[in-house]
Structure 1
């Protein structure tokens, strides 16, 4: 069987994309004080850096985050969002402190939330792990707007953002992979209760 040159090139490009995606390290951790069942709305943090970047790459990241949160039932709210979303791309290697935890979905199903009144005997405790994140890390943080505390970090390390139109594809794919670690739908969304809301 003969393969044409364009077909071979396309196949090689597709496979290289798969290999590049496999090389990226995707991790996340969360706060035991996060009330994930309560969160329904979000807004982006504004400021310096990529988070305020109005370039195509900054918009590509924001659009990918918006799409994923919409699919999970979240709505934007500029006045009083439940969550603030921040993201940043770090160049070079980076030392990072994460935590060894059970899957967030399982934690949310147990409907546990730790606060100041949680007795010490019932607290989970954080098992810290130090990590060296490889060249190029996209970090997405969800912040509880009421408490002003980070409740979830998702990150992809080893992300090489090429120049040109392929950069948007890489960043969107990285956002999707990161949010695969945050499988939290708004309460009632999967039951169709979102249909009755304004």
Structure 2
């Protein structure tokens, strides 16, 4: 019975953790008018700037951000005299976390016995940080980040990357309309 209870609790914990949505936070610079920006471009990342991210994931991340920046731009291919209005810069932080659960069971007929069971679960958490930088003043006008659990499955990881980028850009669109 104890084993069934522990398996049930573990499976519920994993189910809740796998279904948890991303946590998105954002901050708009004081006096920044986000509606004035029409052309967005993605900053070129230096080779060692994204530690702990393999080249395939870097490419997936850059493609997802470029796609969203292109959709956000009302002016296409503005490479003339004026250049981009906003440069989109991004960074990834990967951290290993631990989740510790403690279970206490009592059993016995005449006497009560107490058994404490501790389960430790390690998981990887990733944070994507995206900054929108005014190209003329070189100041950050909007800062957004999202945090979520990273899965080792490469197909699900690509979906998670797309979901994270979409959630940040959706938050930017909301903040832009305020």
**TM-score w.r.t. length of structure 1:** 0.54
Aligned residues: 132
How far 1:46 moved relative to its partner? Answer: 1.7
Aligned to 2:68: 68
CA RMSD in angstroms comes to 3.5
Unmatched tracts of structure 2, length 5 or more:
1-13, 97-123
Bigger Cα Rg: 2
Aligned to 1:175: 165
2:34 to 33, 36, 47: 36
Unmatched tracts of structure 1, length 5 or more:
1-14, 94-133, 188-198
Aligned to 1:106: none
Aligned to 2:127: 137
The answer to whether the 8 A contact 1:135-1:159 is kept is yes
User: What is the CA deviation profile of residues 105-155 of structure 1, one whole-angstrom value per residue up to 9, with x for unaligned ones?
Assistant: xxxxxxxxxxxxxxxxxxxxxxxxxxxxx9321111110011100111111
Aligned to 1:59: 59
Task: Give the Cα–Cα distance (whole angstroms) in 2 for the partners of residues 72 and 89 of structure 1.
Answer: 22
The answer to whether the 8 A contact 1:138-1:159 is kept is no
Give the number of the structure whose residues are more often strand, by fraction. 2
